[in-house]
Structure formats: structure tokens, C-alpha cells
């Protein structure tokens, strides 16, 4: 039987479909309100749950489905109902992260009571929702009374994520600067910009402290912890001043600044206006050395920073904690040595030994021993390697390798097998010491709490504590030492992943090529090719 609709709710141009029950003369009449505008229809399962929860059962479900699917408002007699009028029904859905409560309402019976703000809050509390309740959103529902529509009545407070402390540097911290390369393939070793000059009073670095953030709360009022953050501090050497709270570093002198192992250094530059010879003697200096002349036979320079030589190096020794830049090459006469923890940049190397902790960039290598932790690049357009031994942790690149006269030339790239084994051994040692420290630290903490509470240790426990402390100190010292060596080998391993030999023009017969644990000797002349290790063998491919 069809009935006229009897409603008193607020409607707008867009509303979802819903149903309402009217209790009349012992029967339940269901009024179907079709969706308006772009509103969504009510699901059958939702309607069935609503009716069953109020004791309305045993009706024709197929007929009910048809009425529910109608696009027009209509009514249906559901049969006998012995119940009473009931109030609005409020459904509460909590998100998985417990940060949001979404509520949906279905109407009371036609003569039933509506929920007020107090009733709604009480229902939220009944679901243990106590935090982040939105009075405005509740009032919005009370005013508009849109049914079968989702309202967000409570939202938790997310934790405020802080950040680790960090250091902002006001100078170029990149040590891998290179000479200027021109389009025609030539290289200008005189046009270099490898030193970060500073004036007295210049700001060098600023510490931005860590922000610990703030915990949040879910809608149940439970705390949500924020992530932990890490602090740090400024590390610096001589010739540097700080502000009162030690968050800023300033240069105390005019000189140059560099960053070594996260420590800021400022030093004056020792400048030699002519040659390093009898008039100057050997040089030992804690900063940079700039020689505007040449380094003559038999003399030496030892510097903790960079060494720049504008002239030539003869059979002399240069040892640098930073980079070595020689603008007119080295005639080593089988006695000259260049050794740098950083890069070495030089136009040519002849009859010398060269050791670099970074890369080597040169125009030619003649009968020399050249070693680099990273790459060795012979970049001149006529560059060649003839004679000697060339070893690189990364790649070797040259226009020409070997010679038509068969100069004995050996090229080695990649990490040596014994270094890889040492790397694996160090990894095991680091893990073992870390586990030992983790095991001993709680024991020491327990004894410290015991002593702090005023209790004394007997001789047996005192002796045991001293032994634990000695073992802990030894483990920490070993761990620090192992980590330094491990990190160095780790970098070499990373470099060796790209180990290859690149020939931009020709490689002649008689060149011995070694990549990690594999070797071969070239039998024929090849051009424009590269050698690399693949699937357990050395293969040559064209560029």
C-alpha cells in the first residue's frame, strides 16, 4: 500500500538517499527518500541493518529492494510492528589509525526524537572517543539534518615531526674540483679554482639545532610518539672563532677554508715566491703550500693541506694531506714521488711514482708508477700511457695505451681480492664489538643505579665491575678503529664496481690488463674500445 510522505527534515539540492519509519496502528511504514542531485543511494545492507536493529523483520525483502532503488520518494507498509517510536540512529566508524571518527545518521521514526549536541557527544564518549571532537561539525549536522551522509566528528592530533640537527656551510665543501676543459679537448692546468679563500671574520658554518617535535593524540586520547631526532655539534680546528652559544663559526684569519672528515679547517697559505731549492730548504707545513716556481732535485714538501706548484717538479718528494696540483709536470728521474690523500692534477708524469687517495688527472704518463683510489684519466687530446704500472680503484681512461715499440705497460683496476677479504673480516669484527657493547652497557647501567642509591659493592662485585668497564672501553676503542678502516675499504669497493679501462683511440699489443683477480695481455692492436669484467672474464667491447 502506498502512503503520502510525512517528513520534517532539511533538504538541499544534493542529498543521499535514506529511509524513515513511521509507526502507525501497530504497523511499520517505511518512507523511502530517493537521492537528490548527485547524492548517493542507500545500500540495501545498510537499510536492512537499520531495520533489524529496531526489531523490524519478516517483510518482503525483494519488494523492499525495488522500492529502495526507486528514483522517486515513496512508501511501503512493512507489516506488523509491536515496537515503539525510536530516536535517531548514529553510526560511528573509526579509521584504522584511530585518528578519525566518521559518523552517519539515520532518522528517528516520524514521531521519534532527534538527537541534540549533548546526545551526540555522549554517544561518541560511549565509543571511548574523547579527543579532537568538533563542536562545529556536530552543530552543522544539527542544523542541516542530512541523513545517510558522513560527518567527521573527531580528528586526532598528529605528532609534529621534528628534524635532526644539521650544519649549514657557507663555503664550497666539494673537494673534487677539476681544471678547465675546452671544446677542442685541451686542458688548462693554470686555470684552477681549488681553494676556498676566506677573509677574517667571514661566517663559515652555522649549526641548526635539532627539533624534537611534539607527540600527538588519537581520538581515544592516547599519545602518539614522534620520531627520535639526532643532535650534532660543530667541529673545527685552529684559526676559527665561535659565537656565544657555539652555533656559528667565523674565520679568525685571512686564508682558506676546507672541510675534512666533517671538521672545518682554516689555515694561512705558505707561499714560496720562487723555487724550492737551497735558498728555501725542505718545507713542512700544517696548511696549504703554494710554490710559484719549481721544486728542484732532492727537496721535499710535506703539507697537511693542498700543495700547488706553478713550475715543474724534478726528482723531489711532495706529500700532501689534500690535493697536489703541478702546473708544468714532473720529471722524476726514477726518484720523484707525489703522494696525496686527495686528488692529483698534473700535465704529465715522467719517470716518477704517484699515489693519490682520490683521482689522478694528467695529459700523459711515461714509464711511471701511478696509483689512485678512484680514477686515472689521461685527458689530453694527444694523451697516452707508455710503460710502467698504472693502478686505479675505479677506471683508467686514455687516448693511447702502450706503444708501437712494445713498451712494457701494465694497467690494473678494481679492488684487490685480499682487500675484499679484509672488508668482510672487518664487517664481522664491527658486528661482534657492537654486540659486545650492547651486552655490557646494561650491566654497567645496573651497577651505576645500585651505587647511586647509596649501596656499596662488596669486593667481588667491585672487581667484576672493573673488569666489565675495561672490556667495554676496549670494545669501544676497537670498534672505532675497525669502523675507520671499514669505511675506507667500503669506499674502495664502491669505486671498484665501475672498474674498467677505456681507450679513446688505440691500445697496442703487449699491454697487461688486470681487473680485480683476472688478467690478460693484449695480442693485437685495438681501437676505440673498453675492457671490463663480466661473468667472470675480461671482455673488450667497442665504444
Q: What is the pLDDT along the chain (543 residues), one digit of tens a residue?
A: 333 333 444 445 678 999 999 999 899 999 999 999 889 999 999 999 999 999 999 899 999 999 999 999 999 999 999 889 999 999 999 999 999 999 999 999 999 999 999 999 999 999 999 999 999 999 999 999 999 999 999 999 999 999 999 999 999 887 555 666 667 776 655 444 555 778 899 999 999 999 999 999 999 999 999 999 999 999 999 899 999 999 999 999 887 788 888 899 998 788 888 999 888 888 888 778 999 999 999 999 999 889 999 999 999 999 999 999 999 999 999 999 999 999 999 999 999 999 999 999 999 999 999 999 889 999 888 899 999 999 998 899 999 999 988 889 999 998 765 777 788 899 999 999 999 999 999 988 888 888 877 778 788 888 888 898 999 999 999 999 999 989 888 877 776 677 899 999 999 999 999 988 788 999 999 999 999 988 888 999 998
Q: d(Cα 296, Cα 313) in Å, to the nearest integer?
A: 6
Neighbours of 371 (CB within 10 A): 19
Candidates 122, 129, 138; CA nearest to 99 is 129
The whole-number pLDDT of residue 101 equals: 96
Domain ranges in the chain?
18-155, 166-259, 265-415+498-542, 418-496
Tell the residue number behind the cell numbers 581515544, with chain if given.
Answer: 220
Q: Where are the beta strands (DSSP E) in 341-395?
A: 344-345, 349-356, 360-362, 364-372, 376-378, 384-392
What are 56's three cell numbers? Answer: 523490524
Q: d(Cα 335, Cα 300) in Å, to the nearest integer?
A: 12
Widest CA span in the chain: 124
The whole-number pLDDT of residue 3 equals: 39
DSSP state of 214: B
Cβ-in-10-Å burial (0-12, 13-18, 19+) of 516 comes to middle
The whole-number pLDDT of residue 22 equals: 95
CB-based contacts of 424: which residues, under 8 Å, 6+ apart?
none
Candidates 147, 151, 158, 150; CA nearest to 134 is 151
Q: d(Cα 169, Cα 269) in Å, to the nearest integer?
A: 21
CB-based contacts of 60: which residues, under 8 Å, 6+ apart?
none
C-alpha 61: how far from its chain's center?
Answer: 59
Tell the residue number behind the cell numbers 631526532, with chain if given.
Answer: 229
SS3 29: strand
Q: d(Cα 285, Cα 201) in Å, to the nearest integer?
A: 23
CB-based contacts of 460: which residues, under 8 Å, 6+ apart?
none
Neighbours of 465 (CB within 10 A): 18
Note the helical H segments in 93-150.
117-126, 135-144
Q: d(Cα 51, Cα 28) in Å, to the nearest integer?
A: 10
- Backbone φ and ψ of 105, nearest 5°: -120, 145
Pairing mode, strands 100-106 and 89-94: antiparallel
Q: Where are the beta strands (DSSP E) in 63-218?
A: 74-80, 89-94, 100-106, 150-155, 166-169, 180-181, 187-188, 196-198, 203-208, 216-217
The whole-number pLDDT of residue 522 equals: 94
pTM greater than 0.75 (yes/no):
no
Dihedral angle, C-alpha 120, 124, 130, 134, nearest 10 °: -50
Q: d(Cα 360, Cα 368) in Å, to the nearest integer?
A: 13
SS3 152: strand
What is the distance between the terminal CA atoms of the chain, rounded to a whole angstrom?
87
Cβ-in-10-Å burial (0-12, 13-18, 19+) of 467 comes to exposed
Burial 117-153 (b: 16+ CB within 10 A, else e): eebbbebbeebebebbbeeebbeebeeebbbbbebeb
Q: Does an H or E element contain 53, and which? A: helix 44-53
| 8 A C-beta contact, residue 385 and residue 378 | yes
CB-based contacts of 208: which residues, under 8 Å, 6+ apart?
165, 166, 167, 168
The whole-number pLDDT of residue 458 equals: 83
| 8 A C-beta contact, residue 323 and residue 372 | no
Neighbours of 74 (CB within 10 A): 17
Amino acid at each position: 500500500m502506498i502512503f503520502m510522505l510525512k517528513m520534517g527534515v532539511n533538504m538541499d539540492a544534493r542529498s543521499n538517499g535514506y529511509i524513515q519509519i513511521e509507526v502507525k496502528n501497530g504497523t511499520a511504514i517505511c518512507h523511502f527518500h530517493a537521492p537528490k542531485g548527485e547524492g548517493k543511494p542507500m545500500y540495501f545492507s545498510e537499510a536492512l541493518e537499520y531495520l533489524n536493529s529496531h526489531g523490524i523483520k519478516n517483510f518482503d525483502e525483494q519488494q523492499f529492494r525495488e522500492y529502495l532503488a526507486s528514483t522517486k520518494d515513496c512508501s511501503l507498509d512493512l507489516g506488523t510492528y509491536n515496537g515503539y517510536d525510536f530516536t535517531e540512529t548514529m553510526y560511528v566508524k573509526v579509521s584504522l589509525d584511530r585518528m578519525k571518527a566518521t559518523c552517519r545518521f539515520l532518522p528517528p521514526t516520524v514521531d521519534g526524537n532527534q538527537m541534540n549536541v549533548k546526545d551526540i557527544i555522549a554517544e561518541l564518549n560511549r565509543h571511548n572517543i574523547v579527543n579532537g571532537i568538533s563542536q562545529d561539525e556536530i552543530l552543522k549536522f544539527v542544523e542541516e539534518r542530512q541523513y545517510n551522509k558522513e560527518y567527521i566528528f573527531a580528528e586526532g592530533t598528529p605528532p609534529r615531526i621534528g628534524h635532526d640537527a644539521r650544519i649549514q656551510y657557507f663555503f664550497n665543501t666539494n673537494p673534487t674540483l677539476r681544471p678547465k676543459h675546452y671544446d677542442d679537448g685541451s686542458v688548462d692546468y693554470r686555470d684552477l679554482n681549488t681553494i676556498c679563500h676566506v677573509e677574517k671574520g667571514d661566517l663559515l658554518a652555522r649549526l641548526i639545532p635539532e627539533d624534537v617535535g611534539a607527540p600527538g593524540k588519537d581520538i581515544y586520547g592516547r599519545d602518539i610518539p614522534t620520531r627520535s631526532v639526532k643532535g650534532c655539534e660543530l667541529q673545527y680546528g685552529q684559526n676559527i672563532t665561535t659565537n656565544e652559544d657555539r652555533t656559528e663559526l667565523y674565520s679568525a684569519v685571512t686564508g682558506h677554508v676546507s672541510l675534512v672528515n666533517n671538521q672545518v679547517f682554516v689555515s694561512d697559505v705558505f707561499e714560496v715566491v720562487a723555487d724550492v731549492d737551497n735558498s728555501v730548504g725542505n718545507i713542512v707545513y700544517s696548511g696549504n703550500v703554494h710554490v710559484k716556481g719549481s721544486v728542484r732535485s732532492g727537496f721535499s714538501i710535506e703539507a697537511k693541506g693542498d700543495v700547488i706548484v706553478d713550475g715543474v717538479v724534478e726528482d723531489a718528494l711532495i706529500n700532501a694531506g689534500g690535493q697536489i696540483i703541478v702546473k708544468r709536470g714532473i720529471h722524476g728521474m726514477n726518484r720523484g714521488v707525489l703522494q696525496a690523500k686527495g686528488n692529483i692534477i698534473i700535465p704529465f708524469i715522467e719517470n716518477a711514482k704517484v699515489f693519490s687517495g682520490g683521482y689522478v688527472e694528467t695529459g700523459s704518463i711515461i714509464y711511471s708508477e701511478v696509483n689512485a683510489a678512484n680514477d686515472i684519466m689521461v685527458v689530453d687530446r694527444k694523451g697516452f700511457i707508455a710503460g710502467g704500472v698504472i693502478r686505479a680503484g675505479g677506471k683508467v681512461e686514455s687516448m693511447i695505451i702502450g706503444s708501437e715499440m712494445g713498451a712494457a705497460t701494465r694497467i690494473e683496476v678494481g679492488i684487490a681480492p685480499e682487500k675484499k677479504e679484509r672488508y668482510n673480516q672487518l664487517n664481522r669484527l664491527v658486528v661482534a664489538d657492537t654486540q659486545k657493547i650492547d651486552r655490557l652497557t646494561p650491566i654497567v647501567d645496573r651497577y651505576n643505579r645500585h651505587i647511586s642509591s647509596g649501596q656499596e659493592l662488596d669486593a667481588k662485585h667491585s672487581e667484576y665491575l672493573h673488569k666489565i668497564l675495561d672490556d667495554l672501553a676496549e670494545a669501544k676503542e676497537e670498534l672505532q678503529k675497525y669502523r675507520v678502516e671499514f669505511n675506507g675499504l667500503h669506499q674502495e669497493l664502491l669505486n671498484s664496481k665501475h672498474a674498467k679501462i677505456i681507450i679513446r683511440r688505440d691500445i697496442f699489443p703487449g699491454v697487461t690488463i688486470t681487473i680485480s683477480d683476472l688478467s690478460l695481455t693484449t695480442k693485437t692492436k685495438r681501437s676505440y674500445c673498453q675492457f671490463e669484467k663480466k661473468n667472470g672474464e675480461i671482455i673488450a667491447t667497442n665504444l
